[in-house]
Structures are given as C-alpha cells and as structure tokens.
Chains A and B, each alone.
Chain A
Amino acid sequence: MSREGLVNLAVVLSVVLLPFAAHVMGETYWVTLATRAAILALAGVGLNIALGQGGLVSLGHAVFFGIGGYSMGILAYHAQTYTPLVESLGLPGTNLMPLIWLVAATIAALAALLIGALSLRTSGVYFIMITLAFGQMFYFFALSWPTYGGEDGLSIYVRNRFPGMNTLVPIQFYWIVVAVLLLALLFSDRLERSSFGLALAAARQVPARVEAVGLDPQRLKLVAFVLSAAVTGLAGALFADLNRFVSPTMFSWHTSGEIMVFVIIGGVGRLMGPVVGAVVFVLLEYLLGGISEYWQIAFGILLLLIVLFARGGLIGLIAGRGKAHG
C-alpha cells in the first residue's frame, strides 16, 4: 500500500474510532463536534470534485450547501406543522432523512446545472466572480423570503428520522453521517479513477488536448460541477439536521470561503484532504474560538503557510506528492 494509502486508512480509522471512544467515555460534546467536522468534510468532498479533480475554483458552493439546508428545512417545516408543501397537489413535507437527502442532492444538482452552464463559459477570475455572484443572489433571496423565516431562519424542533435509528442520540446520528461521508469518499475515489475522472483531469490540465481527441472539456467540467454540487447539497441537509436550524448564513460567501479554505489546508485534489481540513477547522474553531473571537487569524496564518510551503496541504505534507496511477 502506498504512503498515501496508509495515511488514508489511518484517517478513516480515526474518523470511526475516536468519536466512538468519546461516546464510550461519555463525552457527548466531542461526538457532536465530530459530527460537525464530518458534515463539513462531506461538503468539502463535494467541493473537491469540482476544485481538485476539475480545477474549478468555485466560490459559490455555499449555494449548494444552502440549498441542501433549506431543502431539509422546508420539507421538515411542513412535516412538523402538518401543512402541505404544495397546496394544490396536496404534496406533504417529510421528516424522513433519505427522502430529504434525495431532494437536497437533486435540487443542488439542478441548480449547479444552471449555474455551471452559465459560468463555465468563463474561466479563471471571471469564473470565481460569477460563482460568487450566484452565491450572493441566493443569500439575499433567502434573507428576504418571509415564508421560511427570512433572516431569522427556520427552526426544526425534532431531528428528522432515519429508519431503524434514533437520530437524537448523538452517536447514532454520527454513524449515519459517517456512513454517508464514507460512501461519498468511495464515490470520489472511484470517480477519480474512472474514465470520466481521467478525461476530467485531462480537461483540467490540457483542455486543448481533450478537444483534439474528440471530447468536450466544458461538458466534462459541467458534469463534475453538478456531481460536486449534489454531494455538497447532501452535506447541507445533514448540517441543518445537526443544528435543527437553517438560516441564510448557509448561503453566505463566508461559507463558500470556509469550505474552500479547509479543503486547501487539507489538500486540494487529495482524497482525504477535505476530511483532514475539516477536522483541523473544527478543532481550531473549538480550541481557539473559546479564547478569542478572532481565532480565524490563526486559521488564516495556517492557510498562508500551507499555500506558501505545502501545496499538497496537510495530506501532502504527511503522504508526499500525489500518486500517479499506473
């Protein structure tokens, strides 16, 4: 097994075992922190498909995170108030997690299809700006949408259901989140090794070559953007379920920035980069956030050091340069 393979295995084992140890020792708060880290990691795994594999610097992934959050919020709100979601059709809300996830991922994917089709006509700084602009559009829309709380957000009183689990028990909710995270990691890993992943990575590096062999680099990137958004949307739904609360903050560009920053710190394009980055982010937030509200300065310095001296992020530092499959 390669060095990165060993590191990845160690990360997976830590993700599964450490929160379990915290649970056994009765440290429920740490289980909740781990849940937060795992959900953010999932959002990062999504972003990493666009950013790492497709080279798409999207500063608008909060859109998909927020869409996931509001999908959960709106569906659960109608379920808890026993009001129909669509009056004319008598379509009800739901508090069933798998159904909520499906809706969240699907709507995020559709939004990405639209946003991607428009923004992928540009590249570089313009692409970053357009994705940012879409993010702000959604943010202000959520802010001024009184039906679902406007700027106050939307509270959900009871965490949604998952068949056979008691989601209100922190460790049980954690297992659900970690199962989704591991499936997403598996998907991301297989994607990178698939024929689509090969063509996408080539489109990132040498689009002219991809065209010269008869493939469409823009279409490859668009599909990557859509898949990426679906995973981040799923993370948004789980994040809302963790907090039992959704607010426009999920759509804000800070959210986009945070996801991107911890993916960079963990390692762009590295399978476990988002996981390591999210864990570091949540730990710093917890440990330093208690000392000073300016804890993000420390995070900023870490980002600076990584960008200057360790382009492969923390995974790159530990596991060495990226592998080339052969």
Chain B
Amino acid sequence: MAEAVLQTTGLTKSFGALRASEDVSIDLRPGEIHAIIGPNGAGKSTLIAQICGALRPDSGMVRFAGADVTALSVRARARRGLARTFQISALAMDHTVLQNVMLGALGARGRPWHFFAPVLSDRGLRDVAEMALERVGLSDRIATRTAELSHGQRRQLEVAVALTLRPRAFVMDEPMAGLGAGGSKRLTGFLDGLREEAPILLVEHDMDAVFALADRISVLVYGKVIATGTVADIRQSDAVREAYLGEEA
C-alpha cells in the first residue's frame, strides 16, 4: 500500500471541558477520496482546522507529504500543497472571479512583491487561473464581480482556487453545502475525476455525494472516530447506525 499523503496520529484538542477531538487518527492515501462524516458538533471543523494549521492540537501529530507539519502555519502547509476549500465561501467579494483565482496562482508561485506591473497582464498566472476556471465551468464568468455570483457558482470558484495551488492533497469542507440537486450532481462528477490528481479529504453532509464518491469513510462522533471503512462497511456497521445514521438507515 502506498504511503499516506496526509496523516493524523492521535490528534486531541479540548476547549475547556469539551473534547472536540479525541485521539483522531486518519490517513489519506494517493488517489482516494476519504470522507469524514458525523453529526453537527462532532468536531469536523475542529479537525479540519488542525489539519490545515489554524488550530494547534493539544497532542498528536499531523504528517503531510512525508514531513511532520504539526508545528507549521497555515501558510507553510499551503505552500507544501495542502489545498483547502472553505465551508462558507471565503472569497474576495469585491474582486472579479478571475482575480480570486489569480490570487491562488499567485500564492502558489509565492513572492507577491511586484508593485508596478499589472497582475492581469501576467501571462503565467493568468493561464493557470483561466485553466482552473475552465475546468470548473466558470469560463464565462471571468470578469464578473464575485459578489454577483450565485451560491453554486461561488462553490465552483472555491474549488477553482484550490486547483491553482499545485495541490498534493485537497481538504474540502462541505463543498456541496447549499447546492441544489443539479449542482451537487455536477460537482460530484467533477470531484470523482479529481482524485487522480490529488487525493481528497472530504467533509460532507450530503450522503448521496459521500456514498457516490468515497473510497473510505470515517465517522466522527463527539470528537472520536468510531469507524473507518468502505462505503459498504459503514452502511452495515451497527455502531454507525446507532450513533449517526440512526433512523435514516
């Protein structure tokens, strides 16, 4: 089995008496989509924050691309190719669609210290950005102000920004949130092909998407991983049924 691209070992994080993460060990292998599911308040956001570097765990380790990154900042992890998308779109609303994606390309290149040359004339950045927009199907929205995009288009734009980061792994925080059935289906199709490029750690509430996409699923309840397995394993697990899927299953 290939070595994991991203791996957490025994991540633990408390807020006062609340254990938001307890001994969380998961890994993401090349070419796979690993979905994290769990009820609200299960600690999914806290987990993502520790993986991406916004929160320091109380104990445990995060390894990424062959190195211990536990002590590294969000920026340093991003520069190593950890590409995240935000649950609530974090886009520059005053900027055009193209500018938002070019920021990603600029971040991947580093050194944003050009004070005089127009960034929109930077062919290198622009090509990367336009290609990412074409892949997510936003080519016809290049010059649109981001504030004027529909919710679904903003989700697509989030993914486009992540594509520009020369990703070695994606961490996607509910990319389907708020999408209609059509949009959700289209994005599912897109992510399906994306795993070949870089594996995806997918936190998602949309069970249709999770069951359609995931190679493996981990179930998080009260900060603990109560099960990890294939879609079939998880569907059949009594513990999962009881703790999470409950009446639906």
Contact = CB atoms under 8 A, between A and B. Distances in A.
A190 B115 contact: yes
Contacts of B145: 324
Contacts of B127: none
B52 interface: yes
B98 interface: yes
B75 A324 contact: no
Interface string B147-176: 000000000000001001100000000000
A105 to B, nearest CB: 15
Interface in B74-122: 74-76, 78-79, 84, 86, 90-96, 98-100, 102-104, 106-108, 110, 112-120, 122
Contacts of A198: 95, 99, 102-103, 106, 112, 119
A319 to B, nearest CB: 16
A227 B79 CA distance: 26
Nearest to B81: A214
Interface stretch (A64-72, A204-212, A243-251): A204-212
Given A195-B119, A212-B52, A214-B165, A324 B94 contact: yes
Contacts of A206: 90-92
Contacts of B73: 211
A211 B102 contact: no
Nearest to B112: A199
A223 B110 CA distance: 16
Contacts of B95: 198, 201-202, 205, 324
A193 B99 CA distance: 10
Contacts of B122: 195
A326 B144 CA distance: 8
Interface residues of B, number: 45
Contacts of A220: 112
A155 B129 CA distance: 56
Contacts of A187: 116
Given A199-B112, A206-B90, A214 B102 contact: no
B143 interface: yes
Contacts of A324: 94-96, 99, 143, 145
B131 interface: no
Contacts of A208: 54, 86, 90
Contacts of A191: 115-116
Contacts of B52: 212
B103 A205 contact: no
A172 interface: no
A190 B75 CA distance: 27
B116 A194 contact: yes
A201 B104 CA distance: 13
> Which of B91, B104, B115 has the largest number of chain A CB atoms within 10 A?
B115
> Which of A187, A193, A205, A211 has the largest number of chain B CB atoms within 10 A?
A211
Interface string B233-249: 00000000000000000
B142 interface: yes
Contacts of A322: 94
B90 A213 contact: no
Given A195-B114, A205-B93, A214 B79 contact: yes
A130 to B, nearest CB: 24
A277 to B, nearest CB: 21
22 contacts: A194-B117, A194-B119, A195-B112, A198-B102, A198-B103, A199-B103, A201-B94, A201-B95, A202-B100, A208-B86, A211-B73, A213-B106, A213-B108, A214-B75, A214-B78, A215-B106, A215-B110, A215-B112, A216-B75, A220-B112, A227-B115, A322-B94
Closest 6 CB pairs of A and B: A213-B107, A326-B143, A214-B78, A214-B79, A195-B119, A199-B112
Interface of A: 187, 190-191, 193-199, 201-202, 205-206, 208-216, 220, 223, 227, 322, 324-326
